[in-house]
Amino acid sequence: MDLQLSGRVALVTGASKGIGLAVAATLLDEGAKVVAVSRSSSPELDKLAGAGLVHLPADLTAAEAPAQVVNQAVEIFGGLDILVNNAGGPPPGVVLPRQSFLDATDEEWRAMFEFNLFSAARAIRAAIPHLRKRGGGAIINVSSVNARQPSPINVDYGAAKAGMSNLTKELSSEFGPEGIRVNTVSPGPVRTPWWTDEGGVADMIAAQAGTDRDSVLNTVVPEMMNLTTGRLVEAQEVADAVALLASPRSAATTGADLAVDAGFLKEI
C-alpha cells in the first residue's frame, strides 16, 4: 500500500535508536525527507544519512531547542508536514524502574516532565505555523501504555505520558478543522536498548529473579506483564503504526490513541 508520503517532510525526535530510529528509517523508505533529532547520532542513524535524511543534534530539555530544530528542519527541506514526538523515557540523571512513588524527588519529576511532555509541547507550538502553511499535516505523539495503566515503578513517567495523551486530545480538536491531525501511539514493552543494553532493565530484572537476560526478555517479562502475544513488541511494529498515522490515508483519524502493546492493555 502506498502511504503517499513521498516528498513530505518529517521531523522525528529521539531518532538515534529504538523506536525513533525505526520511525526515521520507515519514513525514509516511504519516500519522506526526514530530519532526525537526538542528543547524538549512532552508527545505525549515520548509515541512513544522505540527501533524504539529516541528523540534528539537540538536547530537547533545553527550552529553546524544540523550536530551533523545527525551524532548522524547515530551512533544510523547505517546509514541514509531519512531526513525530518520540523522544522520551528517563532523562539524563534519572534511573527507571523505581520501586515506589516515594523514590522520585521533585527534581526528578521536573526532569521527567521536561523531557517527556514539555519538549513535545514546545515542538508542537513551533510546528503548527509551518503545518498551517502546508494546508495541514500530521503530529504523532509517542505516549505509553503507562498513560492508561499506572505503575508504581514508573509513576512520574506515566504521569507525564498521561499529560501527553490529554494534550493530544485537545490539539486534535482545536486544530483538526485546519487539517492538522494529532494522534498518539502508545507502545507497551518494546525490545529497545533500554531493555537490552548491558546494565539495562533486562539485566536488572535478571539479577533480581536469579536468571539471565534472554530469559527475562523472552519469558519472564511477557509472563509478568501478561502479554497476550507472549513476546515484547518490536520497534518496527511501532514505527509501522506511526507511518500509517502520518499518512494521508489516515485522513479521518485524529484524536486517536493506537496501542501497540502486545495485548498488555485489556480494559475496554
User: So which residues are the catalytic ones?
Assistant: 157
CA gap 91, 115 in Å, rounded: 6
Helix and strand numbers (H, E) in the chain are 11, 7
By the 10 Å C-beta count (0-12 exposed, 13-18 middle, 19+ buried), 162 is classed as middle
Structure-block grid coordinates of residue 227: 502479554
CA gap 151, 113 in Å, rounded: 16
> What are the start-end ranges of the H helices in 55-200?
65-77, 106-113, 119-133, 155-175, 193-196
> Is the Cβ–Cβ distance between 76 and 35 less than 8 Å?
yes
> Is the Cβ–Cβ distance between 143 and 165 less than 8 Å?
yes
CA gap 161, 173 in Å, rounded: 19
> Is the Cβ–Cβ distance between 123 and 69 less than 8 Å?
yes
Q: Which amino acid is at 153?
A: I
C-alpha torsion angle, residues 176, 181, 187, 192 (rounded to 10) = -150
